[in-house]
Chain A
């Protein structure tokens, strides 16, 4: 199948996913959601949604073109440290941005949502390093923001395993060791979302099949895992489609009327991962948290000494 079609998700290919023992399309296996594609389209590309294979090869040869976030003060060379996304194996995808459609960008945040996010940062300002509880969930080895949902590549250890049973789908992400259980609607399950008062770090997922596609509805988020500034009202609709023996197309639509005036949708093509999922016992040697807090205490002491 031409890569462009696989990436666009619009292919009307005759290929059909194999079936599990109970007849579901089979998404099972080890997949990587690593990607070199930025979430938002560079503005100079306008409405251009796809590169040609030739353009893509040229850009790849020139280096990474994603959400580069180097650390200028330390002069890191991403490739030297093995975390340049181009060093990962990933599935072919000619998209210019993960966000689909002519705009390819997240809609402008509503003014009230901007205020909410500014207030959240302001409330912590000056106290970021006071105690472990003030640190983000990743530093505390509780969850990795990119594991979602929505599930995005984590830059390294971008591996996940999908396992299906008749009534549930489980997704085990290597970073940061979580197994997400998605109950499927049907005779074996079919429970609705819990009450609105229930808030979960990873939201509450409910799945059902629409033809070849597993559709997962996710609600009941918390404000502690705000996705791109989202609120507790975040509603995600995820779609998993096996598009070839080597690819699963993962699409998610973000709805949050408290944050954006309209929904927006992104796609990642997942490809086969190397090897198995390795344990990522994050807390095993998480010295960074203690070291960061001791660094802050050393800075506090230096400031105090300077006053006297």
Chain B
């Protein structure tokens, strides 16, 4: 078995928009449990107002309409910009005004802030289905 074929086996086959929301596992930059409350799941729908492509975590801002009709701006923590960029996601991939649905968990201090667990467009699509990630075919040669 050649190096190249092994690399192929190991490279990403697909990358969903979930990659954008690399929220938290213990490998992440910080403790999920310290910052977010797993007993306060959130589900938001609204238009993107700002995307911060910053280290160590990106942040997406959404104007979400509550049950009473009031619009609140929520800040949602996403993945590392470097990792997102390598998977083909840039600051322009989520244009302002895009309607999205976010599920996740709210900040423990009760502010309008959360970590994203899943993010989809209103038609249920994710941003990149299919192997569009750079290097997905292991073609990078040294």
- What residues of chain A have their CB less than 8 Å away from a CB belonging to chain B? 1-3, 6, 29, 36, 53, 56-57, 60, 69-71, 73-78, 80-83, 86-92, 129, 138-139, 141, 154-157, 174-175, 244-247, 271-275, 278-289, 291-292, 294-299
Contacts and interface: CB of A to CB of B under 8 A. Distances in A.
Contact of B15 (A78, A87, A247, A283): A87
Contact of B138 (A36, A87, A89, A281): A89
Residue among B6, B24, B56, B87 having the largest count of chain A Cβ atoms under 10 Å: B56
Contact of A247 (B3, B29, B33, B56): B3
A155 B34 CA distance: 21
B25 A60 contact: no
B12 interface: yes
A36, A156, A175, A247 interface centre (most CB from chain B within 10 Å): A156
A2 B105 CA distance: 47
B117 A295 contact: no
A76 B9 contact: no
Contacts of B97: none
Contact of A275 (B16, B81, B134): B134
A78 B27 CA distance: 10
B23 A74 contact: yes
Contact of B9 (A57, A174, A275, A282): A57
Given A89-B7, A245-B142, A298-B110, A81 B32 contact: no
Given A83-B27, A89-B138, A282-B56, A288 B85 contact: no
Contact of B22 (A83, A288, A298): A83
Contact of A80 (B1, B16, B38, B84): B16
The 6 closest A-B pairs by CB, nearest first: A82-B19, A285-B54, A295-B108, A80-B18, A92-B6, A272-B142
